[in-house]
A and B are shown apart, each in its own frame.
Chain A
Amino acid sequence: MITAVQKPFEEISEMVKGSQNLLILGCGSCVTVCMAGGEKEVGILASILRLANKEKGVSMEIVEDTIERQCDREFFDDVKEKIERADAVLSMACGVGVQFCSEIFSRQIVLPALNTRFYGATEQQGVWTERCAGCGDCVLAKFGGICPVARCSKSLLNGPCGGSQDGKCEVDPENIDCGWQLIYDRLKSLNLLSRLEENEPVKDWSSGRDGGPGKIVREDMLL
């Protein structure tokens, strides 16, 4: 999923300052799973904002809603009127959802309530970690199913560097596992260590972000 975290409340509060009629719009997909921008988080943020406004004597009507996904046009139909009635939309979707909402309602001010982080997995309740960098040319088959691009701090294809210690990455030993130690251990357990003796050539980065903004066109799916 795409993971995200809520922006600091002070930043959100500053962003929505001046709005008289604010819609806080949640997203029912990734950010609901990572507990950053789903229905529940919309409710909490709305309550905190109302409380803060009351204390400051600010008058702001706050409407709450959450749609299935903010990265698909069809789901916006249900909230079209609410969006158009508001003088600002505080979207609790990832960066994709915020932009898509703003594209569809081009006269509307759409503000981000979250900081979008990475493609990750729920490692345990309350912990999400990055797994994929979206490089557009998947190398997982070569590395025992562990991605060096996303999970090595330097994206080394011929790792590990000298900063691997006790299975941890020197960049942040408390929070980051050395991706290359993981690759080494996995290939060792699969009896495939010899694979790591092969020199991995320079990568073609053009299929990812370095090739410019991405676009997928499926001729067979076009209407």
Chain B
Amino acid sequence: MSELKAGTNLERVLQAGHFAITAELGPPKSADVDVIKTKAAYLKGIVDAVNITDNQTAIVRMSSIAAGVLALKEGLEPVIQITCRDRNRIAIQSDVLGAYALGLKNILCLTGDHQVFGNHSTSKNVFDMDSIQLIQALKNMRDEKVFICGDEIKNSKKAPVVEPRIFIGGAANPFGDPFEFRVIRLAKKVNAGVDFIQTQCIYDMERFEKWMKQVRERGLHKKVKILAGLTPLKSVGMAKYMRDNVAGLTVPDYYLERLSKVEDKAAEGIKICVEQIKRLREIEGVAGIHLMAIEWERRVPEIVEAAGLLPRP
């Protein structure tokens, strides 16, 4: 096994060639710590790492680093999400040092949803960098031991260099436009130094497979660990919402039909998700799954169990 870059559990699982599972934990829209404790209890021992979202959809929530520390105390391994929407390069690098110092060593680099979608749509955005530049910055901090400005990461001239050793994640949306450019953008993230990728949630398996074929043609699956994103459908309404309101997402009609035919929509949604996992495991280059069970963390254990992915390594 090659040397570990950050030594996180997620990195070990992926390096060892296990089919990895990550989940998502949305911090509360309040200072309520119990929300994190409750969600963490569902996920502990079930998944390899848990993404802690950063004010997702531009709605104010507890900070991802604070919630990440709380999740860590509950026995989870967090993946801290950092978006470029709210902080400039000074604040982000400062937060990376802080996160690492607090034991948070997986970071997912995102551009971030535009604030127009959130609950402070009149705010100013930052976007000093984009997600690819953020990946590059974390890579340089870890491997070159320098900040974006070129300064060495040490407290004074004589002090030792203490760099944040981060396992660097990025996102990929195989469904956005222009489709042909999506794999090029992934290649740019790989060039910037990304270690793992979590994709936008997948419903259109054919399109995802087409994208994975392009990924393999460029040999990218050998340079980066790709976790396929999944969001189990809770209801017909949710399926329609995802289809009609999320840019780039298509939910095929046959899933909608299946859901509308049965009494227990949630059970059917989970069944579909488990089938997807089984199909994804067969695709060359898919190193794991990223389960984004939005406000549905409690159902994650049964999905993972039904997919035959327990116990975790």
Contact = CB atoms under 8 A, between A and B. Distances in A.
Interface residues of A, number: 29
Interface string A133-166: 0000000000000000000011111111111111
Contact of B130 (A157, A162, A171): A157
B241 interface: no
B124 to A, nearest CB: 12
Interface size class of B (residues with CB under 8 A): 35 or more
Contacts of B248: 162-165
Nearest to B199: A162
A111 B131 CA distance: 42
Interface stretch (A40-48, A197-205, A213-221): A197-205
Given A163-B247, A178-B177, A184-B181, A205 B128 contact: yes
A155 B127 contact: yes
B200 interface: yes
B181 A157 contact: no
A167 B176 CA distance: 10
A197 B125 contact: no
Given A163-B248, A165-B247, A170-B114, A158 B132 contact: yes
Contact of B184 (A161, A197, A201): A197
B217 to A, nearest CB: 14
A156 to B, nearest CB: 4
A160 B114 CA distance: 13
A47 B112 CA distance: 48
Contact of A157 (B85, B113, B133, B185): B133
A201 B89 CA distance: 13
B187 interface: yes
A59 to B, nearest CB: 39
Contacts of A160: 176-178, 181, 185
Contacts of B185: 158, 160
Contact of A202 (B85, B129, B184, B187): B129
A196 interface: yes
A172 to B, nearest CB: 8
A201 B188 CA distance: 11
Contact of A199 (B85, B148, B191): B191
A156 B192 CA distance: 15
B197 to A, nearest CB: 13
B235 interface: no
A181 interface: yes
Contacts of A172: 116
Interface in B91-134: 111-114, 116, 125, 127-133
A155 B175 CA distance: 21
A197 B178 contact: no
Given A201-B136, A202-B148, A167 B127 contact: no
A167 B177 contact: yes
Given A162-B176, A181-B177, A197 B188 contact: yes
A5 to B, nearest CB: 18
B171 interface: yes
A199 B136 contact: yes
Interface in A92-142: none
A164 B133 contact: no
B215 to A, nearest CB: 15
Contacts of B176: 160-165
Nearest to A163: B247
A216 B113 CA distance: 36
Nearest to A153: B114
Contact of B181 (A163, A171, A196, A202): A196
Interface in B274-313: none
Given A196-B181, A202-B133, A163 B128 contact: no
Given A163-B114, A184-B178, A202 B128 contact: yes
A162 B184 contact: no
B94 to A, nearest CB: 16
Contact of A154 (B125, B136, B148): B125
Contacts of B131: 158, 161
Contacts of A159: 130
Given A157-B130, A163-B113, 8 more contacts: A154-B84, A154-B114, A158-B188, A163-B114, A163-B248, A181-B177, A202-B128, A202-B137
14 contacts: A157-B133, A158-B131, A160-B178, A161-B131, A163-B114, A165-B177, A167-B177, A170-B114, A184-B181, A196-B184, A199-B132, A199-B188, A199-B192, A202-B148
- Which 10 residue pairs are nearest across A and B when measured between Cβ atoms? A162-B173, A158-B132, A170-B247, A165-B247, A162-B176, A156-B130, A163-B247, A154-B127, A202-B133, A164-B177
